[in-house]
Amino acid sequence: MDVRKFLTSAVLCGLMGVFSVGNIASAVTVDDNNAALGSEAIVASPNQYPEVEGKRIVINIASRGLYLYNQGVKTRLYPIAVGKASTPTPVGYYRIVDKEYNPTWTDPSTGKSIESGPACPLGYRWMGIYGNYGIHGTNRDSSIGSYASNGCIRMHEEDVEELFELVAMETPVDITYNRVVVEKAADDTVVYYIYPDGYGWQPLTNNDVNTWLKGFGVDAFVSDEDIAEKIQSADGNPTFIAKAYPIYVNKKKISGKAVVRDGITYLPAISIAESSGIALNTNNGILVSKYGKAVAQNFKNQLFINSDDVYTLFGMQGGFADGVYSLNGKIVSEKPQEITAPVPVTNVETESVNTSVATGNVVNDVAENNAVEPEAKTEAVKEEPVKAEVKTENEVSKPDFIGNNTVQKPRNERHSFQQR
């Protein structure tokens, strides 16, 4: 298998996004233009070193990829080799502190030096980032895409020569360990990847992955069975989910996303009801407001409505403009009724998910079976008030990074180390 082609095709499909994930801190942070950063994560947030000429290098050890950003946009992706599990590449915030053409390598065990040329393990370019650690070429091209070095970052010779000319001294270098990557593709489709745990630093659960996907508003649209299978395979291949967009009600951003899948736009019913102060009830899988009725769509215990029904249910006009979904209408002044009950709801999940319970502080008595089959039986459930718990992308906190420049103690001489 051509690892270089694999990495390029697997990650470039999400070119406009950024990265996620890792191993130490807790909590999540989200930005539509960046990845959701997950629990137990070794991540960059934010680098103490400012961008130089608008550029920043980000290295993902788990995906074995080096990304060059210019003005916040990913412009280059290079496959790399990173440190072996026994000599891992150090995670942290760094910057380019040294640049050399035709570097000389010194064997630490013998003291013998090898000048630049075909036999030199450093190739023809060196960019030092900390102590003996750096980004360089290699005379072992087949190692690219693997865990092979003593901690340095190896690149194909043509790639390191290109990168060398693109970045200046002091350019920040963020090194992270990111098994889960969630991105937005150029067409706004949310795509996610799961990479192998090469260092054994980041075991994953379904809840971890759902947390990252929730940051993009699409967690309800991926079945838990599919997530478990993807964790098991950890092949680094992309999985495309749906397009997701922020929602504004009367120019105020609300929690949840407008999700477009298979040509249908789904809107989060509870979030809209709470932000507008409109009370909702249900009757046999039908959401009922003082304005009208609409079918309740249930995805993994979250209630959505088809955007075609938003005027009928909320008395609002809505539509897409400039990358957001905007709703405009009158805000109800009275507080909505607290009539929630955890009850069966309409399940229109197209995958293997088999969930049937929804909660929220504006939803009551939702029906059990598929709303597109009105003949399906319903089941009465005792009402028990429950407060909806919906976190916005701004309500979740960024995980702390695993120390600033926390690495193995550097050796005395920058190039006095074994094959890098």
What's the pTM value of the predicted model, to 2 decimals? 0.69
Band of the pLDDT at 115, cuts 50, 70, 90? very high
Q: What mean pLDDT do residues 276-297 have?
A: 93
Whether 152 is catalytic is: yes
Task: Please check the confidence at residue 392 and state whether its pLDDT lies above 90.
Answer: no
| Mean per-residue pLDDT over the chain, rounded | 76
d(Cα 321, Cα 327) in Å, to the nearest integer? 11
Higher model confidence: residue 357 or residue 229?
229
Question: Has 136 been annotated as catalytic?
Answer: yes
More confident residue, 45 or 239: 239
405: confidence class by pLDDT, cuts 50, 70, 90 = very low
pLDDT reading at 73 higher than 70: yes
Residue 386 confidence (pLDDT) above 70: no
Q: Is the pLDDT of residue 280 over 80?
A: yes
pLDDT at position 383, please?
A: 39
- pLDDT for res 366: 33
Instruction: Report d(CA 75, CA 54) in Å as an integer.
Output: 12
Q: Output the six-digit token pair for 121.
A: 């393990």
Which has the higher per-residue pLDDT, 337 or 95? 95
Q: What is the pLDDT of residues 172-227, one digit of tens each?
A: 999 999 999 999 998 999 999 999 999 999 999 999 999 999 999 999 999 999 99
For the ranges 106-110, 153-157, 337-341, 412-416, the maximum mean pLDDT occurs at 153-157
Q: Over 50: is that where the pLDDT of 109 sits?
A: yes
Cβ distance 380 to 95 under 8 Å?
no
User: Do residues 133 and 91 touch, judged by C-beta distance below 8 A?
Assistant: no
Given 120, 152, 156, 415, the catalytic residue: 152
Least confident range of 15-29, 207-221, 363-377: 15-29
Domains of the chain: 3-176 (2.40.440.10), 244-358 (no CATH)
Q: What is the mean pLDDT of residues 239-243?
A: 98
Asked if the model's pLDDT at residue 122 lies above 80, the reply is yes
Question: Which residue out of 120, 136, 156, 415 is catalytically annotated?
Answer: 136
Residues 6 or more apart whose CB falls under 8 angstroms from that of 44 comprise 58, 93, 174, 175, 176, 401
